[in-house]
Amino acid sequence: MRPDVLLLTNAVAPDKLGGLERYVRELAAALVRAGVGAAVVAKRTAPHLAGDEIGADGVRLIRHDVPSKAGRSFALRYPWRTWRSVRSILRDHPDAVLHGHFPLPLVVPPRRPYFYTLHAPVHKELLAERQGTYVLPAAVQRPVVAALRRAEASILTRASGVAVLSEFMRTQVAELAPRVAERAEILPGGVDTGWFRPGDQPYEESLLFTARRLTPRTGVTELVAAMVSVVERHPRARLVVAGDGHLRPRIEADIARLGLAKNVELLGRIGEDELRSWYRRATLTVMPTAELEGFGLTTAESLLCGTPVLVTPVGANPELVRDLGSRFVTPTADRAGLARGVVALLDDPSVLLAARRLLPGARAVRWSWDTVAERYLEQYQACLGFRR
């Protein structure tokens, strides 16, 4: 298959199961359904993965090798190997539309126009979530982050067209390239609306749910701490957390120390069937984001399943729940603000019932992948002259 569109990213689902990885894979699948050949160019995350294959969804996966993180020179060799591999792949597909989703493959400018989607400012994520995965001395960490910030600004400035997932992400573009922010197109994150939809089972009273990576940015530690105040007011309240991450041992210790063993459950990573079931069973989904949040995929999935979401006043989440009212945005993102927000809603079930009547509403069309893919095709045509 000679792809019409090459989506350039870091890693792709199911090789890695994060928000960006799922987004790129599902967008590629939606482009295929629209009659457009799509290939994802990403790093090989495990030795057994094929270098070139076509998935059951019709998406071609072109994987390139990168150095092992165990090597002391990984931080230096990784960018060079990525650029060399991506350049070779681009030479093999001279007519394909280029759509970037991650900065590294585009730091060395390609010799043809490209479209770019800014999912999150990667230089900020490195500061917030380094987690020891980048073998860099502390003394050079900030200079490297500063260099990446300049590179991201350059990538945005050179792009023929730029998309962001929310108004919040437009502000992040403005910090990097103000003129680009003015022309950036808002294309929301897509969701499998055929899968994430309301079900028949009743929700469980006082059941709180969240699906989050266990990292500082996602705010799970603050939400667990907030449960002390929630349980004082609503002793039967229960929080279920899906997801994993390097903070899990600390959170487990917090649960034991705070006496929350009967009220907080950590599920770890779960499958799509179980995830949808928890959305439907919950009285309320909570998104305790502490930093960033380009779209809020968990928020969108829960709303499409008919369950309201309480969010912090951080990132794009308030945009997604705007029509539910101000009570679905906590006053602050710390444990006190989260506790106040949860308790206020559990105290007044009529507010939750009224919110359920509004869901999923027009979101089911606006956030469907087929709608999002068509809007991207319009951008390819307008910015790059692409025609099917």
For residue range 104-117, list pLDDT tens digits in order.
999 988 999 999 99
pTM of the model: 0.90
Q: Residue 133: which pLDDT band, with cuts at 50, 70 and 90?
A: very low
- Please tell me the predicted confidence (pLDDT) of residue 138: 64
Confidence at residue 136, expressed as pLDDT on a 0 to 100 scale: 54
**Cα–Cα distance for residue pair 45/35, rounded to 1 Å:** 29
Question: What's the rounded Cα separation, in Å, for the pair 254 and 334?
Answer: 16
- State how far the Cα of 227 lies from the Cα of 343, in Å rounded to an integer: 10
**Which are the contacts of 176, defined by CB distance < 8 A and separation ≥ 6?**
121, 149, 152, 153, 156
Please state, rounded to an integer, the average pLDDT across all residues of the chain.
Answer: 93
Strand 185-186 relative to strand 207-211, pairing: unpaired
pLDDT, position 131: 44
Q: How far apart are CA 193 and CA 216, in angstroms?
A: 29
Query: pLDDT tens digit string along 9-39?
Result: 999 999 998 889 999 999 999 999 999 999 9
Residue, of 294 and 68, whose pLDDT is higher: 294
Q: What would the mean pLDDT of 211-219 be, rounded to a whole number? A: 94
Name the residue with tokens 């990097």: 176
User: With bands split at pLDDT 50, 70 and 90, how would you rate the model's confidence at 132?
Assistant: very low
Q: What is the DSSP letter of 180?
A: H
pLDDT above 50 (res 386): yes
Q: What domains can be seen in the chain, in order of their start residue?
A: 5-190+368-384 (3.40.50.2000), 207-361 (3.40.50.2000)
Confidence (pLDDT) at 70:
76
Mean pLDDT of 189-208: 94
